[in-house]
Amino acid sequence: MRSFWVYGALCVAIQVLSGCGSNPVAENKTETQQMAKVTQYDQLVVAFGDSLYAGYRLAPQEGLAPVLQAALQAEGINARVHNAGVSGDTTAAGKARLAFVLDSLDRKPDLVVLGLGGNDMLRGIKPTETKANLTAMMDELKRRDIPVVLTGMLAAPNLGADYVKSFNGIFPDLANAYGASLYPFFLDGVVTDPALMLPDNIHPNAKGVSRVVEGLSPLVEAALKQQDDAVLEK
C-alpha cells in the first residue's frame, strides 16, 4: 500500500482543499449529454460522489458512471447510471445537495452508489462530522426506500492513529447499520499501480476507472437483482 500512503501524504501536504477537483459543470456537461441518449432503460442507478465519481480529467465516456453503465449493460442489465459526482464535494456538501439531486430525476432511483469522505479526510475534518453527514444521507435514502452501495475511503496514516481508526471505521459501520453493500476502498488495486493513476497520483486514469468498475460492478449487479426479485415478490 506504499503508493496509497504517498497518495495521502501528497494530498495533505499540498493542501488540496478544493477536493482534488475542477469545474464540475464543465466536467459533467458533455457526459450528461451523452448519458441522456440512454432514454430507454429498466433501472436507474445514481453515482453520487466527488471527483473520483465525476470523471476528473477524463474523456466523457471514461468516468465511473459511463463505464459502470457499460459494464451493467454488457451483463444484460438495461440500466442507466446517472453521474452525480461533483469535484470538491465534502460530505457536508453532499448532504446539502442529495435531496435536490434525487428530486430532479425523472424517476426514483433503483440504487444509489454513494462515495464521499475523501475530501473530508484531506481537510482534516473530524471523523465524527463525516460520519454524521453520511448518516444523514443514509437516513434520507432509507426514508425514500432507495438501497445503497457504499464505496469506502482510507485515511492517510500521517493524520495519526486515532484519526485513521475513527475514519476508516465509518464505512463498515454504516454498511452494517443500514444493511448496505460495501466496496471497502474505492481505489483498491488502483492507487498502488502508477499505470492506473493520473500524474497527480490522486485520481484514477481511464484504465484505473475500468479496474474500479471490475471490482464494484458485481456489487451493483447484485443490488439491482435484489431489487428485481423484491418487485417480483410483490
Catalytic residues: 51, 200, 203
CB neighbourhood size of 40 (10 A): 6
**Is 72:35 a contact under the CB 8 Å cutoff?**
no
The three grid cell numbers given for residue 136, joined into one nine-digit string = 444523514
Question: Within its chain, how far is the Cα of 85 from the centroid?
Answer: 7
Hey, is 97 helix, strand or coil?
helix
**Is 152:180 a contact under the CB 8 Å cutoff?**
no
* Eight-class DSSP state of 40: -
The three grid cell numbers given for residue 56, joined into one nine-digit string = 476528473
* Eight-class DSSP state of 204: B
**Is 55:203 a contact under the CB 8 Å cutoff?**
no
